[in-house]
Structure 1
Amino acid sequence: MPVTCSGACDITGDESPRGGYQGRQQQRCPSLAWASAPSLSHSPTEPLLSLLVQAMALLDIVFGILQILIHNVQLVGEELDEETRKRMEQRAEMLKRETTRLWQEEEQMKQEQRSQESNSFTWASLLLSALQHWQFWVVAGVLVLLFGLCWWLRKRSREPEREEESSDSDVEEEEHEEENDNANEAEEENDDANDPGMFFEEHIQWPVQHLDRDCQTVRDLMETFILVFQYILSNTSFPVLENAIEVGSTFEGWSPREEDITYRLLVPLKPPRGHIFHLEPGPVWLARNFRIRVELVCTCETEQPVGETRCFLHDLEQDQRRNASFSTLDDLCTDSYLDVQKIARYFQMFVRHSWRALPISAAHRLTVLPADRSCKFCVTRGREKRILIEFFFGVQEGTSDIFVSSQYTEAAYTPSTMWPETYAVAEIKFFSYIARHAQPDTYHLRCLQVCVRCLLGRDFSTYTLKTVVMHLLTTIPLSDWRRRHFWERLNDILQYLQSCLEKKQLNHFFIGNENVPEEIILPLELRVAEPVNLFQHLAQNPDIHEHAQLEFEELRSRLQRLVLHGR
């Protein structure tokens, strides 16, 4: 049944949490209080607050009804009425405390919400308040514009003075530069007039050579030959061929000849599968000599190539196959030592038979030349200049730049199983090292070329002068080998050679020499060895020494004629 209120309620109580007043006074109807409750502002917590307000209003109504019942109920019995009244008063007191707690929570939530809103809008309100003072910003902008205008006018007023000063300084600098240029030109003219290198460059008849073009032709041809040889000799017991190494004066850049230039290369050999090479020292002449002993090794426990699963040493069938076909021990060795002449004959045959399979054979003619310890041939095209190519064979000493090769020795007779030690690879690496660290106009190769050109037809060997120049290149700074020092370096070469002739001693460059660059890899025994005297034969034979001195005087006179007359 709905409850209505027709006037003020005669309910007295303590301080109301909503009224904020003290003392006992007459309370308004709860329904009117709920209806007149102030409306809440829209916020994220509005639904929750609305529910709380409705709950509190409902509690007020219930509390009012209970009080009415307490005052208006007719007592049935005195004991029962007193007990009921106490229970109802306790219930009313509990509801009052609960209502007070809910109102306190509501006030706390409102306070937290107001603090969050004030924090979020602090900077925006400050900025908005600052922007509202537009008069301040207008005045500030006008002041900035006035300051910039004054600075620009002051800068413009000083530009004419600076232009005058800069023009005066530019004129002085130009005059000074012209004076320096004139002085430098005069010095260059004087240097050119007194530059012996320039004189030699213009007056000496240098051999007409096309080394760059011909060297590239030789490289391409040898690469093709090596590829063909590797294909033919694959899966055989022939020594394994590696890429050819360019050696000799032509590839070093100082060949003294104009015609009949020979391009020399070294072809390293590796032992074939199932074999090993042992270097055994032989007699020591001017250089060390070795013999290469070939041995079979067991390959039972090593990884075999595809199609090769047997060991030459322990498999009888494989040994019979080796004997029936080509064999390094049987066809290239003499008494188990690698024979130079047999290898040379096989390679000459390979070159002759594989030539027609090369594309270059369509326009060029090949002529294999006789040679006992190398493979030498000539390639010509019609009536054009011919190219002479000679490649030797070598076995590397460990991982160094020193090889034992099939080159000739200076002895009257060299056994076919003797492999002299060669330093050709180390020499070309040395000249490459000098070229990388020297200036572009360094004339060390021209000095060597002039001296060796004057030696042609003499008993002096070109290797002697080459050794002298290599020693001087490690003792004289490379900056002193430029073109303007040409004549001084020629005199140094002659004086060094003359001193060696007088002392009858010229040390080998790579044996026991501490000045060899570290980039050149030498065996340890060569670095710590005692120097080898290349003029030892002069000390042993006075007649040879006297003849060598006469040859030196002839060399000096020919060099002087070349300097004075250009030929």
Structure 2
Amino acid sequence: MPVGIFRVCLVVITAIVNHPLLFPKENGTILENTEEIIQKMKEREEILRLEKLRLEQEIEGQEAAQKVLEKAAKVVEDVKEEKVQWDMWTALSMVIFLLIELWRQDFQEGNWQDTGADEDDMAVLGKAFKGVAFPDKAILASFYEKRILGTTGDMARMREMVEGFADDLLEALRSVCNRDADMEVEDCMGVGSMYENWRVRKPFVCDLIVPFAPPEPYCFRSQIWCSGNSFPPDEQGYGTIKVCRADEDETGCICDKTKLGEDMLCLLHSQGNTTRLSSEMEDLLCFKNTQYLDADQVMKWFQIAVTKAWNKISHKYEFDLSFSLLDSPGALKIKFKSGKSIAFNLTPVVQYENSDVYFISHFPRNCLAADLPSSTHWFLTFAVYERRFIQMISKMLPANACHVSCLQILSFLHGKQCSLTGPSGLSNYHLKTVLLHLLQTRPSQDWAPEKLEVRLQDMLKFLEKCLHEKKLYHFFIGNGKVPAELGFPIIFQRAEPLNLFRPFVLHRDVYRKTIDTFHEMLRNTSALISEYMVHIPNGIQKESV
């Protein structure tokens, strides 16, 4: 457009300069042929008019093109702005939905980790208690003294006897093993209800775990589901154990540790060494053609080693030792000549790094226990930390606190109900987990001995709530409030909470059976307790808590 304006101005200036009237010639003589001049001026004027029209049309065309370009640019800008706004709204909506979901999960998790602040909610959720005649604290105290308290001495004597025999058996096992080729077995440790002093059901069974390690120069390298690697949801709570040489890198080769010549090949990577390496790994109890520790292989090795050890020391004892359960390879039974027997579990485990978390080769089965993804997947047990937590909390509670009593009574009631109506999806470990959560959230004074009744009801209401939601979270995994004094690994505290009731979502028939058993247990509570209680005088009234 500026070029066109310049052309118009140039034509006008040229016309003015050449006009004879404005700039006459020096001689001042008027041409005689005036008509000819006028005709030429008209022709020039016509030419200028046509040029002007052409220039105007060109200017209009350029202006129209410019408007089209500006309109197109505006449309593109509007589209981009709308797209940005749409993307912003989409992102904002996703953020809002995510925050709502996180808030919902936090709220639900807060219910199981912070139950002390939700008294009204607990009261509403205790619908199963309506119409149930729950025993008062006088009856509960009498029942506890008559039926449960007397078993403590029996447990102490049994623990002492089993531990002494297990130490002798493991010492014999070490002597019969090849120190250069076999696994190295450490001292056993007691875990579970017998060592937490709340076991009530007979027969009493001691649970002992035995850490073991590979011979030199090998070591175990573990990988857990919360270590940042991708694990399917059904493998949460599990891990794998790789057998490596101590000088190997993470890829399983020592060639990076050694300076090899350009014309040399790492033997570990050579095809000719594959058979030898596979055979070597199988000798180290690995799964076929892998470097991963096989739980089935470990249990076979352990059973053979225990058998050899018993054959070596059997002459010292006046009883027989045998494996008692086919589906529990570590289950042993001592049988005396009188016919009496003592059962205990001796299970090999692998330590996780430098902690008291262990990979356990075998876990007691119940109707909720899902099959392991493979024999190279090991379940993690936090039993040592659980025992340590209960001991630590017990020192902070009032004398003769009722926390252990609550767990014992609840375990007794559930066991009696299952003996009447068949097994349910609940286990004693679930009941203990409920107690651990309440111990962390309830003030210490709430566990005074005279509050046995109300605390037992709290446990039942909390359990009912968890069953209703199908959510009971593992006490340690994902719990950032674990006391620092325990020295618990931070990686498990930062992990996603592990729902112990997840199998209920997958097995509806088991869930329905568990719910029915729980409600039946509540209705039968008074009858089950009255069967074992001493006579309470009628003058004793129920005291308020």
* TM-score clears 0.5: yes
Q: How does 1:396-411 map to 2 (within 5 A)?
A: 396-408=351-363, 410-411=369-370
Tell me which amino acid in the other structure corresponds to 1:363: E
Matched, 1:236 2:236: no
Which residue of 2 is the match for residue 214 of structure 1? 158
Tell me which amino acid in the other structure corresponds to 1:428: R
Provide structure 2 residue ranges, at least 5 long, that are not aligned to the other structure. 1-135, 225-230, 249-253, 255-265, 534-545
Q: Is the 8 A contact 2:144 2:405 kept in 1?
A: no
Matched, 1:265 2:208: yes
Q: 1:332 aligns with which of 264, 285, 295?
A: 285
Q: How does 1:41-80 map to 2 (within 5 A)?
A: none
Matched, 1:255 2:199: yes
Q: Is the 8 A contact 2:190 2:209 kept in 1?
A: yes
Q: Is the 8 A contact 2:237 2:498 kept in 1?
A: no
1:468: how far off? 0.6
The verdict on how the C-alpha distance between 1:380 and 1:438 changes in structure 2, with shifts beyond 3 A counting, is farther
Q: How does 1:440-479 map to 2 (within 5 A)?
A: 440-456=399-415, 457=418, 458-459=423-424, 460-479=426-445
Q: 1:293 aligns with which of 242, 253, 260?
A: 242
Q: Distance in 2 between matches of 1:559 and 1:207?
A: 21
Q: Give CA deviations for 1:510-548 in whole Å, capped at 9, x if unaligned.
A: 111133222323322211123222233445666655444
Q: How does 1:362-441 map to 2 (within 5 A)?
A: 362-371=317-326, 374-383=329-338, 385-408=340-363, 410-412=369-371, 415-441=374-400
Q: Distance in 2 between matches of 1:381 and 1:375?
A: 20
Please identify the structure whose Cα radius of gyration is greater: 1
Q: State the secondary structure of the residue aligned to 1:338.
A: coil
Q: Which stretch of structure 1 is more off in the superposition, 380-389 or 465-474? A: 380-389
Matched, 1:517 2:473: no
Matched, 1:200 2:200: no
Q: Is the 8 A contact 1:197 1:484 kept in 2?
A: no
Q: Is the 8 A contact 2:176 2:305 kept in 1?
A: no
Q: State the secondary structure of the residue aligned to 2:359.
A: strand
Q: 2:168 aligns with which of 224, 230, 239?
A: 224
Q: Give CA deviations for 1:64-92 in whole Å, capped at 9, x if unaligned.
A: xxxxxxxxxxxxxxxxxxxxxxxxxxxxx
Q: Is the 8 A contact 2:172 2:310 kept in 1?
A: no
Tell me which amino acid in the other structure corresponds to 1:251: Y
Matched, 1:274 2:217: yes
Q: How does 1:9-158 map to 2 (within 5 A)?
A: none
1:327: how far off? 5.6
Q: Is the 8 A contact 2:148 2:200 kept in 1?
A: no
Q: Distance in 2 between matches of 1:297 and 1:540?
A: 42
Tell me which amino acid in the other structure corresponds to 2:156: D
Q: Distance in 1 between matches of 2:483 and 2:281?
A: 38
Tell me which amino acid in the other structure corresponds to 1:279: S
Q: Distance in 2 between matches of 1:365 and 1:561?
A: 40
Q: Distance in 1 between matches of 2:373 and 2:334?
A: 29
Q: Give the structure, 1 or 2, with the largest relative contact order (CA under 8 Å, sep 6 or more).
A: 2
Which residue of 2 is the match for residue 11 of structure 1? none
Tell me which amino acid in the other structure corresponds to 1:291: T
The verdict on how the C-alpha distance between 1:289 and 1:403 changes in structure 2, with shifts beyond 3 A counting, is same
Q: Distance in 1 between matches of 2:315 and 2:193?
A: 26
Matched, 1:527 2:527: no
Q: Is the 8 A contact 2:281 2:291 kept in 1?
A: no
Q: Could you tell me the percent identity over the aligned residues? A: 27
Tell me which amino acid in the other structure corresponds to 2:480: E
**TM-score, L = length of structure 2:** 0.59
Q: Is the 8 A contact 1:512 1:528 kept in 2?
A: yes
1:553: how far off? 0.9
Q: Which stretch of structure 1 is more off in the superposition, 538-547 or 426-435? A: 538-547
The verdict on how the C-alpha distance between 1:269 and 1:194 changes in structure 2, with shifts beyond 3 A counting, is closer
Q: State the secondary structure of the residue aligned to 2:485.
A: coil
Q: Figure out how many residues of one structure are paired with residues of the other and give that number.
A: 357
**TM-score, L = length of structure 1:** 0.57
Tell me which amino acid in the other structure corresponds to 1:377: L
Q: Give CA deviations for 1:308-332 in whole Å, capped at 9, x if unaligned.
A: xxxxx989xxxx9xx89x9664251
The verdict on how the C-alpha distance between 1:522 and 1:234 changes in structure 2, with shifts beyond 3 A counting, is farther
Tell me which amino acid in the other structure corresponds to 1:215: R
Which residue of 2 is the match for residue 355 of structure 1? 310
Q: Distance in 2 between matches of 1:265 and 1:234?
A: 23
Q: Give CA deviations for 1:253-294 in whole Å, capped at 9, x if unaligned.
A: 1113122x2211111122320112122346543742122121
Q: State the secondary structure of the residue aligned to 1:358.
A: helix
